[in-house]
């Protein structure tokens, strides 16, 4: 076998999370968010960070008045080229860009003749003149220039010579990079590869970039196709944020470039291998800042990216993880999970038991009993893959490894709508719980925001000698799912608790009655805490 020892080429990563990502429906970055995310990106090692659009809104303008200091990245400001029919000095948008404290200016310009006529209403020549003049003006102000050719691929398909003339005009005017944008996101990988190769025959690939939108879910594939064809800059965003269906997801592209030999043997990128393990954390931090639930199925960084549910898969993963993992989860800061569910086999159960410190042989008859119990409960609606603590309690009960700390003899929950002392109409929930501990009974009552809250408060009010172990319990999540529909609907309740140590655990309850399902989940959560505390 021959090995290629030629030096690697440098591939440039341009992040537009703070600009195109800000065009995501439901996303609204504050100035503090922008500073936080920019610091994460710089720490990761991307080459350019596009901070926003100065003049578009106060946060973006302020960001460029007091720019962040980066260790590695260059800071780019985005805006339109000069409007046709105006002088350079009489274009407020351009003035804002020139005033912005940025290393680079990313101009956006139309590369599709149809757009020039319809959206701008100017001639093709006027558009080229605006592009050339704007770039020269920015260069004369010592700015590096990037030209984003909006609609390049649609434009190239409709009128290749005009689309190319936009690219060549920009290069001649001194743009460092000309970025071919699939603005409407409808171009497919084989088209991108062909068109970029054709452009590379007329312009140097190390001055060409790709900016792909994800409307056919091909933005990552299109970016890689463009690199294969010769482009040497990739634009993208963290978690694939961006207009409509988003942009090329750098959270997927970066590990692909570092871990897949077809790319890693040919290219160097600014992200060092040792920082790759911070990727999952960065992705989740962004979600946290935006108050968005992380995408569990996100490649590389999602909670399910290395989660194995099927028994056949789990059995092989336990023998050798590579059997079902295309890369090691730790390389991107993620972790392997073998889930317990109705798709599980003994291997899944063994792995989960090992996680909680219980060692069993695969031929131990209790293992088969536990698997049967899991499958029967799941058939009733229980879901253990999201309820680690309930699984542990079930397992320990089947293994005869746990005692009942308390017994709830009965509970009652009332919901009453009535006028309060001020005459306002209010809905009041009250719960009463009778608990037996070591032969002694106690009765507790509590009012709550709703019936489940009242039940939770009453249940945790007086657990006798166990009370001190549950003082630091905090309910952090409560989720209800109703399934089967109709009058025989079954309710599944999942609750998540946390204690002062920061540990969280989840439990599940299932019943036709939502209060009963909640009660099961709550009692499991308290029992788990007592078990954990060694009560």
Residue 217 CB, nearest distance to ligand PYR (Å)? 16
| Relative orientation angle of helices 250-259 and 219-229, to the nearest 10 degrees | 40
Q: What angle do CA 358, 530, 359 make, to 5 degrees?
A: 0
Round to whole Å and give the CA distance between 77 and 73.
Answer: 13
Rg of the Cα trace of the chain? 30
List Cβ neighbours of 61 (8 Å cut-off, separation of 6 or more): 54, 55, 96
Say whether residue 181 binds ligand PYR (CB under 6 A).
yes
Say whether residue 109 binds ligand ACO (CB under 6 A).
yes
Say whether residue 327 binds ligand PYR (CB under 6 A).
no
The binder of ligand ACO chosen from 15, 144, 150, 193 (CB under 6 A): 150
Residue 128 CB, nearest distance to ligand ACO (Å)? 12
Nearer to ligand PYR, 148 or 456 (CB): 148
Q: What angle do CA 30, 36, 37 make, to 5 degrees?
A: 90
The binder of ligand PYR chosen from 41, 108, 220, 231 (CB under 6 A): 108
> Could you give the 3-state DSSP secondary structure of residue 294?
coil
How many residues form the binding site for ligand ACO (CB under 6 A)?
16
Residues of span 119-178 touching ligand PYR by CB under 6 A: 148, 150
Q: Which partner from the list ligand ACO, ligand PYR, none does 110 bind, CB cut-off 5 to 8 Å by kind? A: ligand ACO
Q: Which partner from the list ligand ACO, ligand PYR, none does 50 bind, CB cut-off 5 to 8 Å by kind? A: none
How many residues form the binding site for ligand PYR (CB under 6 A)?
8
Nearer to ligand ACO, 244 or 296 (CB): 244
Q: Which partner from the list ligand PYR, ligand ACO, none does 46 bind, CB cut-off 5 to 8 Å by kind? A: none
Buried residues in 441-457 as b, exposed as e (16+ CB within 10 A): eeebebebeebbbbbbb
Strand 490-498 relative to strand 177-182: parallel, antiparallel, unpaired?
unpaired
- Quote the strand ranges of 156-296, DSSP E: 177-182, 208-212, 233-236, 267-268
The binder of ligand ACO chosen from 36, 72, 83, 309 (CB under 6 A): 83
Say whether residue 406 binds ligand ACO (CB under 6 A).
no
Closest CA to 244 of 287, 294, 183, 192: 183
Q: Which partner from the list ligand PYR, ligand ACO, none does 56 bind, CB cut-off 5 to 8 Å by kind? A: ligand ACO
> Could you give the 3-state DSSP secondary structure of residue 270?
coil
Say whether residue 524 binds ligand ACO (CB under 6 A).
no
Say whether residue 241 binds ligand PYR (CB under 6 A).
no
| DSSP states of 389-433 | HHHHHHHHHHTT----S-EEEEEEEEEEEEE-TTS-EEEEEEEEE
Residue ranges that bind ligand PYR, judged by CB under 6 A:
20, 108, 148, 150, 181, 183, 211, 213
Residue ranges that bind ligand ACO, judged by CB under 6 A:
20, 23, 53, 55-56, 80-81, 83, 108-110, 119-120, 150, 183, 243
């Amino acid at each position: 076998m021959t090995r290629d020892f030629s030096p690697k080429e440098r591939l440039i990563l341009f992040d537009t999370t703070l600009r195109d990502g800000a065009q995501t429906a439901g996303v609204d970055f504050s100035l503090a968010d922008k500073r936080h995310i920019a610091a994460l990106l710089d720490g990761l090692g991307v080459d350019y960070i596009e901070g926003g659009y100065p003049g578009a809104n106060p946060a973006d303008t302020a960001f460029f008045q007091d720019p962040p200091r980066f260790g590695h990245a260059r800071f780019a400001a985005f805006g339109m080229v000069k409007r046709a029919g105006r002088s350079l000095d009489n274009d407020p948008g351009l003035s804002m860009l020139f005033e912005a404290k940025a290393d680079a200016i990313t101009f956006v310009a139309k590369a599709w003749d149809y757009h020039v006529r319809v959206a701008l209403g100017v001639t093709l020549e006027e558009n080229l003149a605006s592009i050339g003049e704007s770039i020269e003006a920015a260069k004369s102000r010592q700015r590096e220039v990037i030209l984003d050719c909006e609609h390049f691929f649609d434009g190239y398909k409709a009128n290749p010579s005009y689309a190319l003339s936009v690219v060549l005009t920009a290069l001649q005017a001194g743009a460092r990079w000309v970025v071919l944008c699939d603005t409407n996101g409808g171009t497919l990988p084989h088209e991108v590869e062909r068109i970029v190769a054709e452009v590379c025959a007329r312009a140097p690939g190390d001055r060409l970039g790709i900016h792909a939108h994800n409307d056919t879910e091909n933005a990552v594939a299109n970016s890689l196709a463009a690199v294969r064809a010769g482009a040497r800059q990739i634009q993208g965003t963290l978690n694939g944020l961006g207009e409509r269906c988003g942009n090329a997801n750098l959270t997927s592209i970066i590990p692909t470039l570092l871990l897949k030999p077809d790319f890693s043997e040919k290219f160097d990128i600014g992200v060092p291998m040792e920082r790759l393990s911070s990727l999952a954390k960065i992705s989740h931090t962004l979600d946290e800042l935006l108050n968005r639930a992380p995408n569990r199925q996100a490649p590389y960084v999602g909670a399910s990216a290395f989660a194995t549910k099927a028994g056949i898969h789990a059995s092989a993963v336990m023998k050798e993880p590579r059997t079902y993992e295309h890369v090691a989860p730790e390389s991107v800061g993620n972790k392997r999970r073998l889930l317990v569910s109705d798709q599980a086999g003994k291997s899944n159960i063994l792995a989960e038991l090992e996680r909680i410190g219980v060692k069993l042989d695969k031929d131990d008859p209790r293992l088969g009993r536990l698997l049967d119990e899991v499958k029967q409960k799941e058939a009733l609606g229980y879901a253990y893959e999201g309820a680690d603590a309930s699984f542990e309690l079930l397992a320990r009960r089947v293994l005869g490894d746990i005692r009942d700390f308390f017994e709830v003899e009965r509970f009652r929950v009332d919901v009453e709508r009535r006028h309060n002392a001020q005459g306002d109409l209010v809905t009041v929930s009250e719960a009463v719980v009778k608990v037996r501990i070591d032969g002694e009974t106690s009765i507790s009552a509590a009012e709550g925001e709703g019936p489940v809250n009242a039940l939770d408060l009453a249940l945790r009010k007086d657990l006798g000698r166990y009370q001190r172990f549950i003082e630091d319990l905090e309910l952090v999540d409560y989720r209800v799912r109703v399934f089967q529909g109709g009058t025989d609907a079954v309710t599944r309740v999942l609750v998540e608790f946390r204690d002062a140590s920061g540990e969280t655990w989840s439990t599940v309850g299932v019943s036709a009655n939502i209060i009963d399902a909640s009660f099961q989940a709550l009692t499991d959560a308290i029992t788990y805490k007592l078990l954990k505390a060694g009560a």
